[in-house]
Structure 1
Amino acid sequence: MVSIERAQHTFEFLNERVAQILSVYVLRVQGDRFFLTNQSAPNGKLIAVRLPLPIGAVAIAFDPTLDQMLSIGGSAIAPEVLLTRPLFPEERYEVIFSYQLPFSSGATLDQDYLYRTEQVEIRLPQEAAATLSSQKQRFRQSLETSPSTGRAYLVYQLEQALQPAERLIFTLNRTLPTPQPVQRAVRAEDTTWFAALVLGLTALGALGGAIWLLQRLLRR
């Protein structure tokens, strides 16, 4: 029997509308026989494990070292990553891939887990100002710093294991910065024109004053 020891999903918000997720699954086979189903992937190979992705996942990319063992199945709306190699008893297998999701603040993510999953971890970069909430499942929240990059992540760890065919459902909220009003840049020619106007008015004022003074002197 196949189980997932750990599923880790690290989010990166590419912009206000798209999130990229790096997923790492650690698989294990329990028992004394290797595991392989009789179902075939689109490439003709037999499927060992199916890993459904959230609805709407696109731009799926594999770890190059696993490219020959992974395939994409499911449907265009609900894709799956397929592992197409036998899994041997008591060995651990790490499957790494990434994908993108259309994103808007308040979006709900719904993902099937076909196998018992001991640990699920969602990682959100702290600077993204994103938070996770769920009405169905409970998460523990912590703050971790990557030792390699020094980047801080909000880490949400599921408190209980997922049973086979159970769904993970959670909502992501993100506080986006308020757009600032656009200030019209003052062009150099604008300031030059304004300065010339001021100088012209000043000269006219001085000329008018001189004429008035001359008229007063002539009347005496």
Structure 2
Amino acid sequence: MLTTKELIITLSASTLLLGILSGCSTNNVKYGDAKAVETVTADFGSTDLQTTAESLTQSLLESRYITKGQNQPKVRLRTVNNLTYEHIDTKAITDKIRIKLLKSGQVRFLADKSNLGDVKDERDFTEAATANRVNQPMEDAEYIITGNVRSIKKANDDIKDVYYNVSMELVNPQNGEILWADEKEIRKVTSKPSLGW
């Protein structure tokens, strides 16, 4: 059985220890620069997403099919296929490109597969609200944009080398002609950490 003095010392030490441990587990959250270069790992990251979208958007805007048109062409952006060994949010790539192209004022976008259901629901709702209105057909896209992300990963005892290739194409959906294509290449090299890859 503990004496009162021993009990007080034990409780004080426990309280002090809990205070220290809870202080150690507090997260220090702070905002970082969203545009800063991110080099935490060799995986596809935020910097890769931003530079890829910037590069491919600029290239597309300089193509004659976008710059020489009398009207803003109607474009549908398809899913970019992830053909890599890792999870890459390709929807984030297409969203960023879509936003940049729309901000340029040089193209108009039509709904893609991911939001066509919402468009149909809205059309059905509008048609029901105005029953005597004639149902108008949806417009066809003048161009579709498709793409792929590929990677090659190599490693030895000292380094890991990861190469990414993001390629995109502007296609005429009526005849399948590829009108524009470009790519963004990224290479990341990391030194072997002390505890393996």
TM over 0.5, shorter chain: no
Report which of the two structures shows the higher radius of gyration computed on alpha carbons: 1
> What TM-score comes out, normalization by structure 2 length?
0.24
Higher strand share: 1
Higher helix share: 2
